[in-house]
Amino acid sequence: VDAFQAWCGPCKTVVDLFRKIRNEVGSDLLHFVVAEVDSIDALERYKGKCEPVFLFYAGGELVAVVRGVNAPLLQKTILEQL
């Protein structure tokens, strides 16, 4: 989940990375979504941050968080969680 605030928008630069990884591992294993923290109460703790926050869920549970756009760390985290 790309958790973003309305005033800065979702992190579009990472979409290509997610597409690449999704194509490599198969579409059934990886899903990428964006969520505006300003409109979702459960994400309130991520408000007021100017850096992107990527939340990784498995089985409905939060399993990892990556703050900032760090493509190698995002890719590593995705592959570890899969």
In this prediction, residue 47 carries a pLDDT of 81
Q: What does the alpha-carbon distance between residue 77 and residue 65 come to, in Å, rounded to a whole number?
A: 9
Q: Kindly state the percentage of the chain with pLDDT values over 70.
A: 95
Give the domains, in start order, of the chain with CATH numbers: 2-81 (3.40.30.10)
The mean of the pLDDT values for the chain is 85
Dump pLDDT digits (tens) for 37-76. 888 888 888 887 677 889 999 888 999 999 888 889 999 9
Predicted model pTM: 0.78
For residue 21, what is the enclosing H or E element?
Answer: helix 15-25
Amino acid (one-letter) located at 79: L
What is the spatial distance between Cα 22 and Cα 18, in angstroms, rounded to a whole number? Answer: 6
